[in-house]
């Protein structure tokens, strides 16, 4: 059997971040080295508290939780409380009983973990990219020991925060541009697949009736969002974790991709150049700062929801 894949997960917990956290905490194929928190779906203080609560519930008090950036690099925070609840986690009012965040600088802690790892680390970022941008800026040497960065963010088609921009990129486009123009291999698990991995009303009931506390919590936060958006609900961020465990469930294509940081209607958009041919030299690359990214364009939704459910209901 292969040894578990070493990962660091960056979150803005958040309902679907909680689904991602539970999978990363429970799946035997992953070695969760740390979780870094960033301002995004809700203020950083809630993100940290929600993250600790979820990990504590999952019995993973051993995982270091890092307090990252409390605001985007150059814009104002824009929270998504209408969807995630005023506490960011379905208004369950969970709070950690005894688990505490690590008292150290998040970038420095991540840098040490990455540099001392015998095996290259996979970073999974399911939140605005502020923490990852700061890490790459402050400690560029870490890039040499990163296997891949899997991002939940961006879109090759429509946006959700705006007509053109996906929430995580739109929340901090300057950070996203730093990350997208780095020389780290990127898989973009964006909106083209994000909504295609589902939990049904029956799945949510099974979770709520489970003997396992983490499964019941997942069921309750799932029921919260179903009340707002209806069934089926999306597994969202957890799909990006599934993509690391089971990459064959994802169909990716490599395209030059750039992030728009200009003020205006396209701010936060990921421009994915999907043209099958580029007919003039000037047109070869739509934008000078674009980077070749593995863009997820299809997902086996049933395979990923089964992977997630089996992990949460059996561990
Ligand atoms: C992303 O935005 C957040 O609301 C979710 O947690 C997810 O990471 C989807 O656009
Ligand atoms: Ca998120």
Provide the pLDDT for residue 276. Answer: 80
Only one residue has tokens 């030059």, namely: 256
Among protein residues, the one whose CA lies closest to atom 2 of ligand 1: 167
For residues 260 and 278, what is the distance between their CA atoms, to the nearest angstrom? 21
Give the helix ranges, DSSP H, for the chain.
15-26, 44-57, 81-84, 106-116, 130-138, 167-171, 173-180, 191-194, 201-208, 213-229, 238-245, 301-314
Among protein residues, the one whose CA lies closest to atom 4 of ligand 1: 41
For residues 32 and 105, what is the distance between their CA atoms, to the nearest angstrom? 19
Among protein residues, the one whose CA lies closest to atom 9 of ligand 1: 167
Q: Are 162 and 268 in contact (CB under 8 A)?
A: yes
Q: Which of 148-157, 257-266, 269-278, 286-295 has the lowest mean pLDDT?
A: 286-295
Q: Could you tell me the pLDDT band of residue 5, with boundaries at 50, 70 and 90?
A: very high
Q: Tell me the CA–centroid distance for residue 103 and ligand 1, in Å.
A: 27
* 3-state SS class at 37: strand
Please tell me the number of the ligand nearest to residue 12's CA. 2
Q: Could you tell me the pLDDT band of residue 275, with boundaries at 50, 70 and 90?
A: confident
Domains of the chain in start order, with CATH, are 5-314 (3.90.245.10)
41 touches ligand 1 (CB under 6 Å): yes
147: left (phi over 0), alpha (psi -120 to 50) or beta: alpha
Provide the pLDDT for residue 94. Answer: 94
Does the pLDDT of residue 73 top 70, yes or no? yes
Among protein residues, the one whose CA lies closest to atom 10 of ligand 1: 167
CA 106 to chain centre: 17
166 touches ligand 1 (CB under 6 Å): yes
Q: Among residues of the chain, what percentage have pLDDT more than 90?
A: 93
Provide the pLDDT for residue 289. Answer: 73
Please tell me the number of the ligand nearest to residue 167's CA. 1
Provide the pLDDT for residue 132. Answer: 98
- Chain mean pLDDT for the chain: 95
pLDDT 10s digits, 111-154: 999 999 999 999 999 999 999 999 999 999 999 999 999 999 99
DSSP string, 224-282: HHHHHH-SSEE-TTHHHHHHHH-GGGEEEEEEEEEE--SSSTTTT-EEE---S---STT
Does residue 152 have a cis bond before it (omega within 30 degrees)? no
Please tell me the number of the ligand nearest to residue 171's CA. 1
Q: How far apart are the first and last CA of the chain?
A: 19
Does the pLDDT of residue 95 top 80, yes or no? yes
300 touches ligand 1 (CB under 6 Å): no
What is the model's pTM? 0.97
Provide the pLDDT for residue 288. Answer: 64
Does the pLDDT of residue 173 top 80, yes or no? yes
């Amino acid at each position: 059997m292969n040894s578990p894949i070493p990962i660091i997960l960056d979150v803005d917990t958040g309902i679907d971040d909680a689904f991602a956290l539970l999978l990363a905490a429970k799946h035997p194929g992953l070695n969760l080295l740390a979780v870094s928190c960033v301002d995004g779906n809700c203020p950083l203080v809630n993100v940290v508290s929600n993250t600790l609560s979820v990990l504590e519930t999952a019995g993973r008090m051993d995982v270091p939780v890092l307090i990252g950036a409390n605001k985007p690099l150059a814009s104002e925070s824009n929270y998504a409380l209408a969807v995630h609840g005023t506490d960011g986690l379905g208004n369950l009012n969970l709070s950690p009983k005894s688990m505490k965040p690590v008292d150290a600088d998040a970038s420095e802690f991540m840098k040490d973990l990455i540099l001392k790892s015998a095996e290259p680390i996979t970073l999974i970022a399911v939140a605005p990219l502020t923490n990852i941008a700061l890490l790459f800026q402050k400690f560029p040497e870490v890039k040499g020991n990163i296997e891949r960065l899997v991002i939940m963010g961006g879109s090759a088609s429509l946006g959700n925060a705006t007509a053109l921009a996906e929430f995580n990129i739109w929340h901090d486009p300057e950070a996203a541009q730093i990350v997208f123009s780095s020389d780290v291999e990127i898989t973009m698990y964006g909106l083209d697949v994000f909504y295609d991995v589902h939990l049904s009303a029956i799945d949510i009931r099974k979770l709520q009736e489970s003997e396992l506390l983490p499964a019941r919590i997942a069921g309750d936060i799932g029921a919260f969002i179903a009340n707002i958006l209806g069934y089926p609900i999306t597994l969202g961020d957890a799909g990006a974790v599934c993509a690391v465990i089971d990459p064959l469930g994802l169909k990716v294509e490599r395209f030059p991709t750039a992030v728009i940081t200009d003020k205006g209607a396209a701010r936060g958009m990921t421009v994915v150049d999907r043209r099958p041919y580029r007919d003039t030299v000037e047109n070869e690359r739509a934008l000078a700062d674009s980077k070749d990214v593995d863009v997820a364009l299809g997902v086996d939704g049933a395979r990923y929801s089964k992977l997630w459910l089996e992990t949460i209901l059996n561990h």
